[in-house]
Structure formats: structure tokens, C-alpha cells
Amino acid sequence: MSLPTRAVVFDPATRKTQLQTLTLAEPVADQVQVKIVATGVCHSDLHIVDGDWPVDTPLVLGHEGAGVVEAVGPLVRDVRVGDHVVLSWFAPCRRCDACAAGRAWLCANTTATANTLPDGSTPYAEDVLPFLGVGTFSEYVVVPEAAAITVADDVPLDVASLIGCAVTTGVGAVTNTAGVRPGESGVVIGVGGVGQAAVLGLALVGADPIVAVDLSGPRLELASELGATHTLRGDDPALAERVLEITGGAHHVFEAIGRVPTIESMPGLLRAGGQAVIVGMTGFDASVSLNPFDLADRGISVLGCNYGSSVPSVDFPRIAALHRSGRLPLSRLVGSGGTLDDVERAFADLRAGAGLRTVLRP
Ligand SMILES: NC(=O)c1ccc[n+]([C@@H]2O[C@H](COP(=O)([O-])OP(=O)(O)OC[C@H]3O[C@@H](n4cnc5c(N)ncnc54)[C@H](O)[C@@H]3O)[C@@H](O)[C@H]2O)c1
Ligand SMILES: [Zn+2]
Ligand SMILES: [Zn+2]
């Protein structure tokens, strides 16, 4: 039986988003049908709407979601009807060399970035694809079970939704990509949804000092409450000097905006041997200018971070457990609410850097 579902669709022809009722196929093979209970609004959705990442086909936006499994296909093994699941926007194939080696974020066969299900199809009857293979701005989704990770029922689903992108990316950038150790210094440039999670990750591993940089006063205040020892404004002309003063040259800098000038500023904030971690996503065709003599001379590493170098089936439950034990206070990241009808307001807030992470309840 197919299922009608209200969804937020971005049409590249008009460059507008619209709420539409679409027809979702029932789950077959290893697919699961999930009722979305909460879905966060991430800057990556805005990259689509603002044309930074051009697409040819209309997309159901949203990729940071959690909900309850309502139906499963006959080949599903790990997920049960009634499970609370966090959706992964990078469903790994679980068979390629990278997946077999436990590096699912490097999966060679995922079709998520082509915005389709693993067989190249769409679950919708209409000519519409699910963004990153999930498309969570919808009442219901149908995804492969590799994209639906069960988490404990007592993790609130608004918190769980953020584990689907911002939290796993920000915390993972610290713990997995950079491998920050206690007492090392960390600088986070841009403390929106992803950057605040990086601050939480730095606090979790005992980094010190932790410097948060943003243009928004309230976001810098939240970063202090979450563990930043110092906050600095991104438009401070003496920013680099201040960072060097506080850290003596940072061990790790995380760019969590996706801007060329801030990415280019990272080596100048680092000590010899330091790591510059690119977490923010630029437009597809951006390029940055870095001084290769300086990188070689001072042994600086530049690391790319996809999804916090995380394995969803391992990292989602681990992060959920850290939330339950109080070590990662993720509820502090949940901002204003609303329904799918409020998506434009959420995008406007993201553009303006206002408020915290909006979490919609379809
Ligand atoms: N690498 C990944 O796997 C991954 C995953 C999720 C998101 N992302 C990307 O991470 C980036 C951040 O996403 P988000 O949802 O947290 O966005 P966001 O809009 O919530 O956060 C960006 C923050 O940067 C701040 N900012 C803007 N300009 C600044 C400047 N010049 N100096 C200092 N701060 C500045 C804003 O005030 C805001 O707080 C986006 O590019 C997104 O696409 C990457
Ligand atoms: Zn995201
Ligand atoms: Zn794979």
C-alpha cells in the first residue's frame, strides 16, 4: 500500500520550496518506513535552497531526522516495528573495502549523495528525490535499514534528530577526525548547530583551552555554557593574535561554517604540528589558497571531515548513551520548534544566524 505524505519539496526550476502531498511506496526488501517525529534544519539544506549545491531534480529536503519505525520490508534484519531510529544521511553499502574496514563515512558505493535509494530509485511516485537518500522534511520516509539506526526509547526524539547530522558531525570531528586528547587546545570557528556540537565534543574529551568564534552574541554565550573557555568575535580584526595569545598556537582548529576566508585563516591559528579540520561545506566549485611552504615547514595537517568520520551504527548509539549519562548535554542544542509549515522561518533564522537549531515536528 502506498502512503500519502506531506513534504517540503525544493524545485530547482523555480528555486522555491513548497509543501506538497506526495505518494510514498511501501517498504520492500531491506527498506523501512519511518514516521518522522522530529527533524532539525541544517545549513546543508540551505545550501540547496540558496543554490550553493545545484541540483537537477526536485528534492524533498531535510536530512537530520528521527522517528518511529512503522513497517519493514521482508529482508530487514536489525530494525523492528516500533523502534526509535535516527536517520543517517550517508547510508553505507556495508560491503565495500571502506565499509569492511570500519570506515563507513568513506563508503565507495553509497548513493546518498546522488539523493537516491541504493538501487538508484526514488521511493516517491512523483519525479522527486529524497535529499541525501532520506528527505526528512516529510511526515514519512522510506529508507534502507542501513540508514535507520535504532537508539534507546528514552532519548527524546528532538535530541535524537540532531544526532542524525549536527551532533555526530561536530562531536565526531573532535573525537574521530582530529582525535583530540585531554589538555590539547581547540578552536571552533562558527558555533551554529555543528560548531556547538564540536564545543561539546571538546569539553567531553577534556580539551583546554576551548575557543569559540562566531558573529552572534547569543551563540557565543551558549558556547561558554557548553564548555568554551574563551569566546571571540569572528569580525575582531585582532582575532588571530587573540587566539595565539590564548592557546600559544592551537593544537586543533575546526572550521564549521563553510567560508573560504575562514578556512584560509586556520593555519595562522595553529602551532607547529597542528591540525586544521574542514567541517563546514563550501559551494561545489570553491577553492582556497594555503601557503604550502608554511604547511610543510611547520608540519601542519589539513583534514577533511565527512560526517564526523563516523560509523552511524556505532556512533549514533554511543552518542545517545553519552547524552543519557549526562556527559553530552544535547538538549541544550535544541532551539525553536514548529511544523513543516515553518520551514521558511527556519531558513531565515539560519541565514541570519539567529536562535539555535530549529527542530520541526511534521
Ligand atoms: N562535514 C560534514 O559532514 C557536515 C555535516 C553537516 C553540516 N556541514 C556543514 O557545516 C556548516 C555549518 O552547518 P550548521 O548547520 O552548523 O550552520 P549554522 O548556520 O547553524 O552555523 C554557522 C555559524 O557560523 C557563524 N558565522 C558565519 N559567518 C561567520 C564568520 N565570518 N565568523 C565567525 N562565525 C561566522 C554563524 O553565525 C553561525 O552560527 C555548513 O556549511 C554545513 O553544510 C558539514
Ligand atoms: Zn546536516
Ligand atoms: Zn561501502
- Topology of the domain comprising 169-306: Rossmann fold (3.40.50)
Mean pLDDT for 40-45 is 98
pLDDT of residue 38: 98
The pLDDT score that the predictor gives to residue 358 is 97
Give me the chain's average pLDDT, please.
97
Once rounded to an integer, what is the mean pLDDT over residues 246-261? 98
Beta bridge mates, 270: 250
pLDDT at 1 over 90: no
C-alpha span between 60 and 238 (Å, rounded): 43
Mutate which of 257, 264, 288 for ligand 1 pocket (most atoms within 8 A of beta carbon): 257
**Residue of 254, 313, 352 lying closest to 91 (CA atoms):** 313
Closest ligand to C-alpha of residue 111 is 3
Helix axes 193-205, 217-226, angle to 10 degrees: 20
Q: What is the pLDDT of residue 193?
A: 98
**How far is residue 263's CA from residue 280's CA, in Å, rounded to a whole number?**
9
Alpha carbons 215 and 193: distance in angstroms, whole number: 14
Ligand 3 center to residue 102 CA distance, Å? 9
Ligand located closest to 354 CA: 1
Side-chain-side CA neighbours of residue 80 (13 Å): 5
Domain ranges of the chain: 3-164+329-360, 169-306
User: CA-CA distances (angstroms) from residue 204 to 49, 307, 324?
Assistant: 34, 18, 14
**What are 317-343's pLDDT values in tens digits?**
999 999 999 999 999 999 999 999 999
Query: Which pairs count as long-range contacts for 227-231, CB under 8 Å and 24+ apart, including other chains?
Result: 227/199, 227/200, 227/202, 227/203, 228/188, 228/191, 228/199
Decide which of 1.10.760.10, 3.30.1180.20, 3.90.1570.10, 3.90.180.10 is the CATH code for 3-164+329-360: 3.90.180.10
**pLDDT value for 204:** 98
Residue 357 binned pLDDT confidence (cut-offs 50, 70, 90): very high
Average pLDDT over residues 89-99: 96
End-to-end CA distance of the chain: 21
> 10-14, 214-218, 352-356 — which is least confidently predicted?
352-356
Q: Which residue's alpha carbon is at the smallest distance from atom 31 of ligand 1?
A: 234
- Which whole number is the average pLDDT over 96-121? 96
Locate the ligand 1 atom nearest the alpha carbon of residue 351 and give its number.
19
Tell me the backbone φ, ψ of residue 233, rounded to 5 degrees. Answer: -85, 140
The answer to whether 3-164+329-360 and 169-306 have equal CATH topology is no
pLDDT at residue 56, as a whole number: 96
